[in-house]
Structure 1
Amino acid sequence: MTNTKELSVEDKLRAIYDLQLIDSRIDEIRNVRGELPLEVEDLEDEVAGLSTRSEKLKGELEVIEEQIKAKKIAIEEHKEVIKKYTKQQESVRNNREFNSLTKEVEFQELEIQLAEKQIKEMKASIEHKKEVISNLKEKLDAKSSHLKHKKSELDAIMAETQKEETFLTEKSAEYSAQIEDRLLAAYNRIRSSVRNGLAVVSIERGASAGSFFTIPPQTQVEIASRKKIITDEHSGRILVDTQLAEEEKEKMEQLFSKF
């Protein structure tokens, strides 16, 4: 259990602003990586998909080549049967037997023609699949090279920032533990709903940072008194005074300067 109940409002404001500065620094680090992790993931999926398709086609080629071999064996068998029937025709006793053997020969010849036609079609299929495999290889080589480059780029960025990000993530958890649940929940809710992730902002030139809406002087005095937590009525962000913000920024800069 943390001793969050013992914190004064000012301490709470300092803690929540410190947390914001740490989380914003983590955001900056992650923005440097940008879309790279997703790009690498997409490229890995593409390479895997192309490899799978290529292997599948190679497997189909092997099946077709085996089928061609089987057809060629069948053709030779048909030819042997034709030889046998042709020889038998030499010793037939009547026209009926001769005609019967002739029909058998014709049937075997048709089977040969059909097998030859199928072999021709299968060879055409092989050529087409080989062309597809060749194109896939070109694509695969290009994508693999691109993936290698992107991974190298990502690894270099990760090597530079991973240690700092890990350290700051631990600090974020540490500072979060000092903040009462309701305030932390509000911080996380605001942070997730705004584009730049800023849930706590300071007063700049009479308005909340990043906003064009002026804060009434009386409200500015209340914010500077640090007696209660005040939110911007337009954006919902938690507000801190300029002096507190500068003091905490200076403190956090010392933390960040370790890297």
Structure 2
Amino acid sequence: MAKKTEATVEEKLRALYDLQLIHARVDTIRNVRGELPLEVEDLEDEVAGLNTRLDKLGGELSLIDDQIKAKKILIEDAKAAIKKYSEQQKNVRNNREYNSLSKEIEFQELEIQLAEKNIREFRAQIEQKNEVINTTKERLEERQKHLKHKKDELDEILAETEKEEQALLEKGEAYEEQIDERLVKAYKRIRSNVRNGLAVVAIERGASGGSFFTIPPQVQVEIAGRKKIITDEHSGRILVDEELAKEEAEKMEAIFAKL
């Protein structure tokens, strides 16, 4: 606790900027990792969708096959009926009975023609669905390979980054100990309110990093003096001079390289 009250403004600014560099690196790790799980999830959904489609097509083929079998049975029944009516015609007593049986035979022949037409249509549907199945299987195989590649990539990144992320977070906590609790809270509040998570930025070409608003020369002098905490009136970010930022960036890069 004593160290916090004795720390100079410059020391606090350096610690704040170091903390920002640590958190920016953590953000980068999470962003890289954050896109891959979504990609893997999308691929898994696509693979599941393709499998569902294949199952549905398989069910449709089975149904068509049953319909073809039913039509073949109908044809056999119609042929049997024709044979029966033809035999009956040999024993008719008058033209009326003969014509009636002729109509029955004609009807059964039409039934056979219609059933044969239906079978041809069903077979055409089978051919079309088999083409779709083959295309879907090719797509599924390609997506499964891509999914495996992405999963392997994600596992590799997780293995590489989880350890580094944990080490960075622990180091971040250590740096927070060097800063007043009030400043840490302010830093976290600013960080949560800005889009890129940068709560502490350096002056670049007379403006705060990532901003087009020029910092007045007198304020730039005060920032370079490192005697008080100064925030950007437009973004609310804490400002540090370019030289301090450069020195801390070099120092932190050396630390990061050892993690």
Q: TM-score, normalised by structure 2?
A: 0.78
Deviates more, 1:137-146 or 1:204-213: 204-213
1:187 to 177, 186, 191: 191
Change (3 A) 1:180 1:159: closer
Q: Deviations over 1:111-163 (max 9, x none)?
A: 11111110110000000100111111112112222222222223222221122
| Aligned residues with identical type, % of pairs | 61
> Quick one: distance in 1 between partners of 2:215 and 2:164?
37
Deviates more, 1:56-65 or 1:22-31: 22-31
Q: Give structure 2 stretches of 5+ with no counterpart.
A: none
Change (3 A) 1:248 1:75: same
Q: Contact 1:176 / 1:184 at 8 angstroms: preserved in 2?
A: no
> Quick one: distance in 2 between partners of 1:218 and 1:115?
92
> Quick one: distance in 1 between partners of 2:242 and 2:23?
19
Q: Deviations over 1:83-127 (max 9, x none)?
A: 111111111111111111111111111111111110110000000
Q: Which residue in the other structure is 1:114 paired with?
A: 114
C-alpha RMSD of matched pairs (Å): 3.4
> Quick one: distance in 2 between partners of 1:121 and 1:7?
90
Q: Contact 1:223 / 1:230 at 8 angstroms: preserved in 2?
A: no
Q: How does 1:65-214 map to 2 (within 5 A)?
A: 65-169=65-169, 178=181, 181=185, 183-190=187-194, 192=195, 194=196, 197-203=197-203, 208-209=208-209, 213-214=214-215
Q: Contact 1:223 / 1:239 at 8 angstroms: preserved in 2?
A: no
| Amino acid corresponding to residue 91 of structure 2 in structure 1 | S
Would you say how many aligned residue pairs link Structure 1 and Structure 2?
251
> Quick one: distance in 1 between partners of 2:20 and 2:35?
23
| Amino acid corresponding to residue 193 of structure 2 in structure 1 | R
Q: Which residue in the other structure is 1:221 paired with?
A: 222
> Quick one: distance in 2 between partners of 1:22 and 1:206?
25
Q: Which residue in the other structure is 1:25 paired with?
A: 25
Q: Contact 1:208 / 1:215 at 8 angstroms: preserved in 2?
A: no
What is the DSSP-based 3-state SS (H/G/I as helix, E as strand, rest coil) of the residue aligned with 1:187?
Answer: helix
